[in-house]
């Protein structure tokens, strides 16, 4: 069983469209994250949720809206896609919040905006 699963794996879309990426973890972890990896491989946190509650919201355009219906799911919706949104988006989860623990990453979603 895949521990952290993301769908879709690839997403090619036109500028201006709205798209969603879904993430689910079956590890029983309390905290989930979205990271963006740009073309230079730099991993930058976007959001973090702990038990469905938003705890980290970096300076991300408000076109990006995360939603966590329960602690096993964290979805990312992106409105009005721009060329600069092209990147690999990784979902991740970790065991705890107050103490730092290692992340388990999903396999990533490669978003290409044309």
Partner 1 sequence: GENVEQHPSTLSVQEGDSAVIKCTYSDSASNYFPWYKQELGKRPQLIIDIRSNVGEKKDQRIAVTLNKTAKHFSLHITETQPEDSAVYFCAASYPAYGNKLVFGAGTILRVKS
Here the tokens at position 84 are: 């600069």
What residues have CB less than 8 Å from 114, skipping those under 6 apart? 12, 13, 14, 15, 83
20-39 core/surface letters (b: 16 or more CB in 10 A; e: else):
ebbbbbeeebbbbbbbbbee
Region near partner 1 per CB under 8 A, out of 15-23, 33-41, 65-73, 78-86: 33-41
Region near partner 1 per CB under 8 A, out of 14-22, 59-67, 70-78, 104-112: 104-112
Between residues 12 and 100, which has the closer beta carbon with respect to partner 1?
A: 100
Q: Which of 12, 15, 27, 43 binds partner 1 (CB under 8 A)?
A: 43
> Binding of partner 1 at residue 69 (CB under 8 A)?
no
Report whether 42 contacts 35 (CB < 8 A): no
Distance of alpha carbon 33 from alpha carbon 30, whole angstroms:
10
Q: Which of 1, 14, 28, 40 binds partner 1 (CB under 8 A)?
A: 40
> Binding of partner 1 at residue 68 (CB under 8 A)?
no
Which residues of this protein are in contact with partner 1, per CB under 8 A? Answer: 33, 40-45, 48, 55-56, 90, 97-108
């Amino acid at each position: 069983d895949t521990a952290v699963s993301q769908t879709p794996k690839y997403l090619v879309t036109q500028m201006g469209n709205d798209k969603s990426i879904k993430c689910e973890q079956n590890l029983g972890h309390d905290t989930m994250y979205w990271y963006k990896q740009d073309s230079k491989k730099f991993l930058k946190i976007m959001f973090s949720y702990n038990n469905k509650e938003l705890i980290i919201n970096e300076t991300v355009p408000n076109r990006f809206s995360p939603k966590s219906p329960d602690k096993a799911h964290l979805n990312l919706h992106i409105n009005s896609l721009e060329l600069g949104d092209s990147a690999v988006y990784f979902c991740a989860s970790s065991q705890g919040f107050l103490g730092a623990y290692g992340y388990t990453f999903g396999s990533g979603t490669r978003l290409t905006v044309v």
